Amino acid sequence: MAASQVERVREVVQPVVGASGLYLEDVVVAPAGRRTVVRVVLDLDEDAVGSLDLDTVGEVSREISAAMDAADPVRGAYVLEVSTPGTDRPLTEPRHFRRARTRLVTLELTDGSSVRGRLAEADASAYVLVTDDGEVEIEPSRVSRGRVEVELRRGDETGLDETEEA
């Protein structure tokens, strides 16, 4: 799709997302048969820790849909998909690293090695990971790629007694 169509959608969606206190991560407009798919990816502010809850996504999705219907930035029929980046999003921008604070991450370094640990801090000067061996401070320029590791907790790690149901 033409970049201008993406920009038109972005112009309609950005004020709605901003008013809700969220960050507009991405807008994709792509053909899908006779229709067009409009994908809007939302995230929390970069200083926030945690995940965007589904209730908030649903509420903002309805507001985006109403704004899209009023402005009609996409010609013809379209399907609106509103989502969050998810854990499989690679950490490529400084804001991604700030959003990943408190999470278990693996950083691939420019020298070919990797470091795995809990991301304690992330700013322009350093990423601080808490590893099994202690804290490791890494300059962002040494990181070629990063990713959040999916963590599955056992009952005893969540504070649940083994006889309690999760």
Q: What DSSP designation does 93 have?
A: S
What is residue 89's predicted lDDT score, i.e. its pLDDT? 85
Structure tokens that stand for 102 in this block: 């408190």
Closest by CA position to 9, among listed 64, 88, 59, 89: 64
| pLDDT of 20 over the 90 cut | yes
Top pLDDT among 159 and 140 is at 140
Residues 13 and 73 in one domain: yes
In this structure, is residue 129 part of a structural domain? yes
Q: Does residue 162 surpass a pLDDT of 50? A: no
Residue 34 and residue 62 share a domain: yes
* Residues 6 or more apart whose Cβ sits within 8 Å of residue 163: none
Residues 72 and 141 in one domain: no
First to last CA, the chain: 45
pLDDT for res 138: 97
What pTM did the predictor assign? 0.77
pLDDT per residue over 107-124, tens digit each? 999 999 999 999 999 999
Rounded to 5 degrees, what angle do the CA atoms 82, 121, 91 make? 40
Kindly state whether residues 75 and 130 are assigned to the same domain: no
Mean pLDDT across 73-93: 90
User: Which pLDDT value is given to residue 88?
Assistant: 82
* Residues 32, 78 within the same domain: yes
Based on the fold, state whether residues 39 and 108 are members of the same structural domain.
no
Is the predicted pLDDT of residue 53 greater than 80, yes or no?
yes
Residue 153 scores a pLDDT above 90: no
**Mean pLDDT for the stretch of residues 34-39:** 94
Per the CB < 8 A criterion, the answer to whether 138 and 107 are in contact is yes
Looking up residue 41, the CATH number of its domain turns out to be 3.30.300.70
Percentage of the residues of the chain whose pLDDT score is greater than 90: 75
Task: Identify the domain containing residue 70 by its residue range.
Answer: 3-83
Q: Tell me: pLDDT of 155 over 50.
A: no
Has residue 123 been placed in a domain?
Answer: yes
- Count structural domains, the chain: 2
The chain-wide mean pLDDT, for the chain, equals 89
CATH number of residue 131's parent domain: 2.30.30.100
- In a shared domain, residues 75 and 131: no
Q: Do 94 and 121 touch, CB atoms closer than 8 A?
A: no
Asked if residue 131 and residue 106 are part of one domain, the reply reads: yes
pLDDT value for 163: 44
* Same domain, yes or no: 77 and 99: no
> Residue 166 pLDDT more than 80?
no
> How confident is the model over 46-59, as a mean pLDDT?
90
